[in-house]
Amino acid sequence: MFKSVKYLFVFVVAINICSCNNTNNKPILKFSADSTSIVIKNIDQASLFEIKKVYQANPDSVNFISVLLTPGETDSLQDEINISGKTILRGDSIIFLPDKPFLKGKKYLVESYIAVEFANGSKLFKGTIKHNLEPQQQMLQR
């Protein structure tokens, strides 16, 4: 009886470690304080190293994030519009500066593949591993 309780305890601890491994390490996407740019913070060290390597090789052609203007409920606009701009690496953050200012009251869909994992322990145990990577998506409203 004590052996089965011991194995159950080890199994529960292993599940908790796997499921809590990357809970708080997801990058944070948000508008800057003055809403003129979008900032990505809380990037893990391995991803930041790869980002710096790519950025140093060719800083003008990197596209770490994509920003789309989404149509509102009363807009006649039916499609999302890609927002062009440039990406700057500053310290441990990535900053997206749009070519035109963000519009007040509009919603923007921000997509990024930064620190996205193909498979981790939690997905393995839950059986939710997919055949392709899905970007981190977040809606921001100005």
The highest-level CATH class for domain 24-141 is mainly beta
| Percentage of residues of the chain with pLDDT beyond 90 | 18
Q: Parse the chain into domains and list their residue ranges.
A: 24-141
* 124 against 14, higher pLDDT: 124
Average pLDDT over residues 46-74: 81
* Distance separating alpha carbons of residues 78 and 14, to the nearest angstrom: 47
Q: Which of 57, 117, 51, 124 has its CA nearest to residue 90?
A: 51
Question: What is the per-residue pLDDT across 29-43, written as a single tens digit (0 to 9) for each?
Answer: 899 989 899 999 988
Phi, psi of 38 (to 5 degrees): -115, 135
Question: How buried is 27 (Cβ within 10 angstroms: 0-12 exposed, 13-18 middle, 19+ buried)?
Answer: buried
Give 107-123 pLDDT, tens digit per residue: 999 988 776 655 555 65
- Break the chain down into helix, strand, coil percent, rounded to 5: 25, 30, 45
